[in-house]
Structure 1
Amino acid sequence: MKNSKLSGMAAVASALTLTLTLGACGSSGPQDTTADAGSPTMWALTGANEAVTGASVESWNAAHNDAAIQLDYFANDAYKTKVRTAIGAGEGPTLIHGWGGGVLQSYVDEGHVMDLTSFLEENPEVKERYIPAVFDNGVIDGTSYALPYTGMQPVVMYYNKELFEQIGAEPPQTWDELMDLVPKFNEAGIAPFALGGQSKWPNLMWFSYLVDRVGGPEVFKAILDGEEEAWSDPAVIEALTMIQELVEADGFINGFSSVAADGGADAALLYTGKAAMLLQGAWVYQTLKNDAPDFVSSGNLGYLNFPAVEGGAGDPENIVGNPSNFWSVSASASDEQKDAALEYLKDGLYNEEYTQDLIESGAIPPTVGAEELLAQSEDKDFLTEVYTMATEAPSFQLSWDQALSPDQGSAMLANLDRIFLGEITPEEFAETMNGTLGE
């Protein structure tokens, strides 16, 4: 086991070194010199899981010269635009990174991804390794089209313990406590919250949590179901109002609309002491381990679930985020590419080395029985707490921009950006978004 562990760590280190030479968008990853134009292709994201994915593909290619995977990395925002265009033109990758939800539904409706039913029937151990609630996010109308490949990723509120000690405060358990902290941190010359507003999707974490805490998960379900005037639900209006009150109180770092999350600039504000708190996905822990290991190992990093809203209908144990990221297989790939991709999904994911590398990176495998492995990790406190948070939450709501259709998700992010910038009112947001219902 020890040698295997060292091998896994070496693979991650090797992949990380390799990826440092790659650009943020459209850069080539590990390749095998015997691969040809008929080899399976994979588009993955830069960032938290990059080293694990790179190590996995590098290991796979070394053992499968006849089916070496051609890996390209893309930054999050660039990928979302490029992949939809490429898939629509029949030029997408063999292995398609996704989040499930409405975007996956659109691929299914347009016949762009493979039905994995026969594959899973022939290889029942593949389905059995996943936590059912996570696996189900790759299921559309009872049929599987995507399989998880990254860690579970609920959105977590991170905080800098040293900055809290500096002003003599405790982390907020309620929204009122959060708002009370804002002037205290500002008076100390510390931004209460970091926010990657330029990327827009981090804004959604605030919106989805507040709607849930105020009105419960039923509010977003009505939106998903396309119910008439669903965006005008009082919980939506109240959540948007609370966001604008937080912005007006200088709750976020000055210039937040120019901060990009893709490169980890929002996380850097936390560990450099410029911001006291950050609402971001569990994947940011991997970023912090890589970019600020001393900050993590010193014990200065704190984390908790999103605060409760007093009088709200939502359970404060509910979470939002991404149960995992998923691989789908392109329906337009050649038979050889499909066969190789399916073999990788069966044998390349969640083998001993892959799972070990994932945990060592600071991620939480969405697999059955992971508790024992997490308990052996140097990051066991964070990983075990978030694993428990994810598996015991009464509701784990998929990120709304992925749960909704691509058009509606894009409209929501654009208009939510205007809410944060104070350009529109909550009522105007709701009116505009009601017009997208059913898209």
Structure 2
Amino acid sequence: MADALKAQGVIAFPLMTGENAWSSMLWYSQILLAIGGPDVYKNGLDDPAFVQAAEVLKKMFDYTSSDAVGAGAAVVNGHFLNFEAAVYTNGPWFLPRFAKEGINDLGSKVKFALPPEYVGGKGTYGGLAGTVQAYLCAGVQTDADKAAAVVEFYKFINQPEWLYKLAESSGAMFAVKLESNTNDIQVKQDLLAAANSAPYIVKHFNDSMPTAIGNALPAALDELVLGTVDAQGFVDLLKAAGQ
């Protein structure tokens, strides 16, 4: 697929190494799960899946845009919204922008697809990388009535119909399984169905690793893509950042 798209002058995967390397980090997270399975983070960066996933990610840069090194989110998003790229990855909050900002009626043409498998990998098809987007918190209450009111509020706000309204207004997905609204755009319905049926949803790389390692990813990725280091060297740079 990627070779065919490249031959037509189409960017297969819009990637980036600038800012927090977001789209590349998401791909790395998903590749890690495909190779190492849902427990890939338990052994930390010593798991060989981290090197293997880096090799795959580097190969993907053969099929990205010429401005990927140093690119930020605006560049990556722009390539997809302007019909220059084929396979895009981001969080569900981005879905409304396809119709609002995409050219050539992009919103009606975007389709959801599950992440690919890795032959010989430990992952299960349909497993997803996700994130904790926000927490609902309440302060400790010394008044028994106020404490009871907090509990009742959480019961109320966690009812599926109210969570769905929050999802509609924010673009976020929730851990509680929700039935899709048939009036929603199809890609959102498909994404929700995939999340509901996923064999596992594991926090993405930045959420699963110490902050220092996540912050080191963009610079290490630069080195990998430019050929200064190989896949093992890329992982070594991440390890060094965590020491």
TM-score range, shorter chain: 0.7 to 0.9
1:367–1:315: structure 2 CA closer, same or farther, 3 Å change rule? closer
Corresponding position of 2:178: 370
Corresponding position of 2:81: 271
User: In 2, distance between residues paired with 1:413 and 1:328?
Assistant: 32
User: In 2, distance between residues paired with 1:365 and 1:433?
Assistant: 29
Of 276, 299, 315 in structure 1, the residue corresponding to residue 124 of structure 2 is 315
Q: SS state of the match for residue 50, structure 2?
A: helix
Deviation, 1:319, is: 0.6
Structure 1: runs of 5+ lacking an equivalent? 1-180, 224-230, 332-338
Corresponding position of 1:306: 115
Of 256, 270, 290 in structure 1, the residue corresponding to residue 68 of structure 2 is 256
Q: SS state of the match for residue 133, structure 2?
A: coil
Q: Is the strand fraction higher in 1 or 2?
A: 1
Corresponding position of 2:15: 195
- Counterpart amino acid of 2:14? A
User: In 1, distance between residues paired with 2:131 and 2:210?
Assistant: 16
Corresponding position of 1:236: 50
**1:323–1:396 CA contact under 8 A, matched in 2:** no
Corresponding position of 1:409: 214
Q: SS state of the match for residue 90, structure 2?
A: strand
- Counterpart amino acid of 1:409? G
- Counterpart amino acid of 1:312? G
Deviation, 1:271, is: 3.0
Is 2:224 the partner of 1:419? yes
1:356–1:411: structure 2 CA closer, same or farther, 3 Å change rule? same
Instruction: Give per-residue Cα distances to partners, 1:300-339, cap 9 Å, x unaligned.
Output: 11121111111212112111022533355799xxxxxxx9
1:306–1:365: structure 2 CA closer, same or farther, 3 Å change rule? closer
**2:112–2:191 CA contact under 8 A, matched in 1:** no
Q: SS state of the match for residue 303, structure 1?
A: coil
Corresponding position of 2:94: 284
Deviation, 1:413, is: 4.1
Of 164, 182, 193 in structure 1, the residue corresponding to residue 2 of structure 2 is 182
- Counterpart amino acid of 1:203? S
Instruction: Give per-residue Cα distances to partners, 1:347-380, cap 9 Å, x unaligned.
Output: 896797884364266x355264631xx324332x
User: In 2, distance between residues paired with 1:236 and 1:184?
Assistant: 28
**1:307–1:316 CA contact under 8 A, matched in 2:** yes
Of 233, 239, 242 in structure 2, the residue corresponding to residue 428 of structure 1 is 233
User: Cα RMSD over matched residues?
Assistant: 3.3
**2:13–2:64 CA contact under 8 A, matched in 1:** yes
Deviation, 1:244, is: 1.8
**2:36–2:121 CA contact under 8 A, matched in 1:** yes
Is 2:27 the partner of 1:206? yes
User: In 2, distance between residues paired with 1:307 and 1:272?
Assistant: 24
Q: SS state of the match for residue 214, structure 1?
A: helix
Q: SS state of the match for residue 12, structure 2?
A: strand
In terms of Rg, which structure is larger? 1
1:252–1:327: structure 2 CA closer, same or farther, 3 Å change rule? farther
- Counterpart amino acid of 2:63? G
State how 1:339-418 maps to structure 2 within 5 Å. Answer: 346=153, 355-356=164-165, 358-359=167-168, 363=171, 365-366=173-174, 368=176, 370-371=178-179, 374-379=180-185, 381-418=186-223
User: In 1, distance between residues paired with 2:117 and 2:241?
Assistant: 30
Instruction: Give per-residue Cα distances to partners, 1:44-63, cap 9 Å, x unaligned.
Output: xxxxxxxxxxxxxxxxxxxx
Corresponding position of 2:143: none
1:281–1:291: structure 2 CA closer, same or farther, 3 Å change rule? same
State how 1:22-171 maps to structure 2 within 5 Å. Answer: none
**2:2–2:63 CA contact under 8 A, matched in 1:** yes
User: In 2, distance between residues paired with 1:182 and 1:244?
Assistant: 14
**2:163–2:174 CA contact under 8 A, matched in 1:** no
State how 1:222-233 maps to structure 2 within 5 Å. Answer: 222-223=43-44, 231-233=45-47
Paired-residue identity, % = 18
Q: TM-score, normalised by structure 1?
A: 0.46
1:368–1:317: structure 2 CA closer, same or farther, 3 Å change rule? closer
Q: SS state of the match for residue 283, structure 1?
A: helix
User: In 2, distance between residues paired with 1:406 and 1:327?
Assistant: 22
